[in-house]
Amino acid sequence: MKTIYTLAIAAPMAVAAYAYAGSGASHWGYEGHAGPEHWGNLAKEFGTCNSGTQQSPVDIQQSITADLERISFHYQPAPIKVVNNGHTVQVNYSGDSSITIGGKNYNLLQFHFHSPSENKIGGKPFDMEVHLVHKNDAGELAVVGVMMQAGAANDVLAPLWEALPKEQNQERTLSAQINAADLLPAGRQFYHFKGSLTTPPCTEGVDWFVMKDPISLSKAQVEKFVGLVGHNARPVQAANHRFILTTSN
């Protein structure tokens, strides 16, 4: 059976949910004294942001072609809640949507956005990136990253962008259902590597799957997000001899 772990470096799996809400006493952000270069010093529990050896995001410069097991997406339309938590726009997903890979099933918890993209491919950042965050029954995390390039408007984002909460910690519930499958590119080839959360506490042991093909959104959609949240991308982190695997075809 194909496996995604043939060449991957083993690491303990994260057990915490991938949450952006600033519930702790330590304030962090993307610039100044609370910016990414200072995260590890803001609180003891953020120490991995400095000391970790498998941090995300990464610049995918080279990869090893491998016979990777493909991701089986089982996404269903679901009612959603859109939250402006001050760091990003996060869409909390309900229902039975999931992915299966490596013999494991991961439930879709939420997806959220970054501008510019956090991961890069061949040194190139994209205009935005959406992270679809999953968790299995063992508490292990898997994140599917989809690059977003300015071009044609994205109809899937239209109702989300209409409902973007303008105030921090504000939440809105959409009356219409959204299918996360509509945020996936037609091509399902991907890069795989071991990484971390891209925000404090930067917990490691996260399985990352970055799709090779981007999806589009309009320049106006990018500008609306940045106008609300600002630029919210952590700089790329050292690969530290990690293997980055890629699908063979």
- Residue range 173-183, pLDDT digits in tens: 998 899 999 99
Mean per-residue pLDDT, 207-226? 98
Mean per-residue pLDDT, 100-117? 96
Q: Is pLDDT at 198 greater than 80 in this prediction?
A: yes
User: Tokens 């299995």, residue?
Assistant: 136
Q: What is the pTM of this model?
A: 0.91
Structure confidence at residue 42 (pLDDT) = 96
Residue 32: C-alpha distances to residues 14, 84, 100 (Å): 28, 21, 40
Start-to-end Cα distance in the chain: 17
Nearest one of 182, 185, 217 to 77, comparing CA atoms: 182
Is the CB of residue 119 less than 8 Å from the CB of residue 234?
Answer: no
Is the CB of residue 245 less than 8 Å from the CB of residue 190?
Answer: no
Q: Is 38 a catalytic residue?
A: no
Q: Which CATH class is domain 32-247?
A: alpha beta
CA distance 112 to 198: 12
Structure confidence at residue 30 (pLDDT) = 97
Residue 205: C-alpha distances to residues 15, 46, 118, 120, 142 (Å): 9, 15, 18, 20, 9
Give the torsion through C-alpha atoms of 211, 59, 89, 24, to 10 deg: 130
- Catalytic-role residue among 74, 87, 192, 231: 87
